[in-house]
Amino acid sequence: MTVPEGLKHERVAAVLDREVRAGLVRRGARLPGEVELARRFGVSRNTVRAALAILAREGLISTRSGKGSFAAFDGRPLDGRLGWTHAPADPVLDVESRTIRIAHERTSHRSLSTEKLIVIERLQLVGDTPIAWERSWVPALEPLRDLPRKGLVNDSIAVTLTRAGLHPDHCSQRLRTRPLTPAEAATLARSPGVPFLHTERTSWTADDRFAEHAECLLDPAHYELTLDYGTA
């Protein structure tokens, strides 16, 4: 990849920023070294260092002397094009994402009609305590039909959808607080009736094909939700 002339370090940082935020580099994973990144972008190592410094200031990576740079981002704004869409309010939490179920499923949900679907359930945990539960439904298209057997690509729904040719472009999302049902409380190791943040998000491609419907239950003691607005 050749980066256009101009502020090259900012352009390199922008590409890496998008990749980290999209989950292409998982939290705790080591980024490629300076030499490899310089080769990839066709720039100098000094340019790469300047780009990594931007990411470090944004809290997206951490750099360890003699070991390299590591992804430190574990959440993201409410953006239907991405996977897990919520960031823990405390950025120093050691959060683990764990996939607990992938299966073919039919649902009567009003947003999903009678689509043949695959459901993906994941937990986010601090230690052994679940702090979030996400259920996502994606269309059982040919590239995704073996998902229950093969699992997610890079443990990421966003990457898996992209590899299958589904590129979420726009979405609708709702947020409310509601009490946990007994079944939800059992999964989240809480008491029934405890209030949790509940989000629903449905995403479509640019040509209005269904891409994903996701529902999340978030412990309000650990999560904050951020909406970013910009002008076209």
Based on the domain organization, do 129 and 44 belong to the same domain? no
- What whole-number distance in Å separates Cα of residue 200 and Cα of residue 113? 16
Based on the domain organization, do 94 and 184 belong to the same domain? yes
- What whole-number distance in Å separates Cα of residue 229 and Cα of residue 35? 36
Ranges of H-type helices in 22-66:
34-41, 45-57
Under DSSP, the state recorded for 31 is P
Determine, yes or no, domain membership for 54: yes
In this prediction, residue 76 carries a pLDDT of: 46
AA letter at 146 = D
In this prediction, residue 232 carries a pLDDT of: 39
CATH of the domain at 138: 3.40.1410.10
Based on the domain organization, do 98 and 204 belong to the same domain? yes
Based on the domain organization, do 60 and 113 belong to the same domain? no
Based on the domain organization, do 91 and 62 belong to the same domain? no
Tell me which residue range forms the domain holding 209.
Answer: 87-224
Under DSSP, the state recorded for 153 is G
- What whole-number distance in Å separates Cα of residue 150 and Cα of residue 92? 32
In this prediction, residue 225 carries a pLDDT of: 62
Does pTM top 0.85 for this prediction?
A: no
Domain boundary among 43, 71, 99: 71
- Are 24 and 154 in contact, with CB atoms under 8 Å apart? yes
Domain boundary among 22, 44, 71: 71
In the predicted model, residues of the chain with pLDDT beneath 50 are 1-6, 76-85, 92, 228-232
